[in-house]
Amino acid sequence: GFNSFHVIWKDKNNRIHKEPLNPYSITFKQGIQHVQHNLQRRSHFISGADELINFECKFDKCKPEISSKMNDSDILLHDIYKYLHHYPIIQVHWEIDYYFMVPYKRTICIERNNLPKSVPFQDIVISLNQKTKFNPLLYECDLHKLKMIGDTIHVKKLLHEVIKNDYLCDLIICQHINNKKEEKKFYDNIKQQINYNEKDENGELILNDKILTILNELKILYHDDIHKQMGYPLQLHYIRAILLYCGKSCN
C-alpha cells in the first residue's frame, strides 16, 4: 500500500521526520507543498514564525538524486520512483532549506515615541512598591500574588544593576546637560528620589513611573494584546531585559 512510501526529512535540530505520501495520486510539487505546510504549521506552534522567507529543495542532494525540472511539472511521485528496487515499499530523502519569520503584524515596536507619562497596571493587584507579607496558607487562586512579588524583586535587582553600571539614562527621559557637575547633581537627585543605594543589591528602589519612564514601556508591552493572547508568559523582568537589550545603550 502507499503508506509504505515515506519521504524522510531532517529539521534544523537534526531530528528525523517521516512523511507518508501516496505516490499514485500526489505529484512531486504537491509533496513539497505538503512538507512546507507541515513545517510552517510546526514552526507556528513552536515560535510563532510562520511567514515563509525561503523554501528550496536541494535536488542534487536528494537521495536518490532527482532533476530540478520536477518542481515545475505535474509528474507523479510514482513515475519518479517506480524504477527503484522494492518500490513502493521505500524511503526517499529530500534535502530542503527553509526559513520562516514572525510576521511584522505580530511583532511589538519598542520605540519610546509618544508614550503616555503614566499607564496604570490594570490587571496587577499588587503594586510594584507595595510590601506584601508572605502567607504560607495561600489559596491556589492567590498564587499570582507570589508571582508578582517575585517579579517585583527581579525588576528592582535588574534596575539596580543598570544604575550601578552608570546607565541610569536608559531608564529615564534624558536631559542634555553640558556641565558635568550639573549632570552629576541631576542624576544624584534622581537616585535619591528612587531611594537608590549602591550597596543594597536586594533592591529597595521606589519604582516611580514618572521618574523611571521605562516602566511605562514595560506596562504597555506587558498588557499588549499579543502578550495577553499568549497567556502572559513573560515575567516583568524578562520584558525589561528585552527592552534594555534591544533599544538602550547599556546593551
Q: Are residues 6 and 85 in the same domain?
A: yes
> Is the distance from CB of 214 to CB of 242 less than 8 angstroms?
no
Amino acid occupying residue 235: Q
Q: Are residues 9 and 94 in the same domain?
A: yes
pLDDT value, residue 148? 54
Q: Which of 106, 129, 151 is the last residue of a domain?
A: 106
Question: For residue 115, is it within any domain?
Answer: no
Q: Is 54 helix (H, G, I), strand (E, B) or coil?
A: strand
Q: Which residue has the cell 507579607?
A: 133
State the cell numbers at 199.
550597596
Reported as a pLDDT band with limits 50, 70 and 90, residue 76 is very high
Q: Is the pLDDT of residue 117 over 50?
A: no
Amino acid occupying residue 193: Q
Q: Are residues 65 and 144 in the same domain?
A: no
Q: Are residues 96 and 14 in the same domain?
A: yes
> Is the distance from CB of 37 to CB of 59 less than 8 angstroms?
no
- Euclidean distance between CA atoms 19 and 6, whole angstroms: 5
Q: Are residues 146 and 60 in the same domain?
A: no
Q: Are residues 11 and 81 in the same domain?
A: yes
Question: For residue 119, is it within any domain?
Answer: no
Q: Is the pLDDT of residue 27 over 70?
A: yes
Question: For residue 116, is it within any domain?
Answer: no
State the cell numbers at 205.
528602589
Q: Are residues 164 and 233 in the same domain?
A: yes
Q: Are residues 100 and 186 in the same domain?
A: no
Question: For residue 122, is it within any domain?
Answer: no
Q: Which of 91, 106, 121 is the last residue of a domain?
A: 106
Question: For residue 86, is it within any domain?
Answer: yes
- Euclidean distance between CA atoms 137 and 142, whole angstroms: 10
pLDDT value, residue 79? 92
Higher pLDDT, 162 or 202: 162
Question: For residue 124, is it within any domain?
Answer: no
Q: How many structural domains is the chain composed of?
A: 2
> Is the distance from CB of 80 to CB of 28 less than 8 angstroms?
yes
Q: What is the mean pLDDT of residues 46-75?
A: 85
Q: Is the pLDDT of residue 116 over 60?
A: no
Q: Is the pLDDT of residue 113 over 60?
A: no
Question: For residue 196, is it within any domain?
Answer: yes
pLDDT value, residue 149? 52
Q: Are residues 75 and 155 in the same domain?
A: no
Q: Could you tell me the pTM of the whole model?
A: 0.44
Higher pLDDT, 54 or 153: 54
pLDDT value, residue 178? 76
Expressed as residue numbers, the domain containing 167 is 140-247
- Pick from 71, 76, 41: which is nearest to 58 by CA? 71
Q: Across the beta sheet with 6-10, what order do the strands follow?
A: 16-20, 6-10, 91-93
Please state the φ and ψ torsions of residue 33, each to the nearest 5 degrees. -65, -35
Q: Are residues 64 and 147 in the same domain?
A: no
Question: For residue 135, is it within any domain?
Answer: no
Higher pLDDT, 132 or 69: 69
Q: Are residues 145 and 223 in the same domain?
A: yes
* Alpha helices in 121-198, H assignment, sequence order: 143-164, 180-193
Q: Are residues 147 and 219 in the same domain?
A: yes
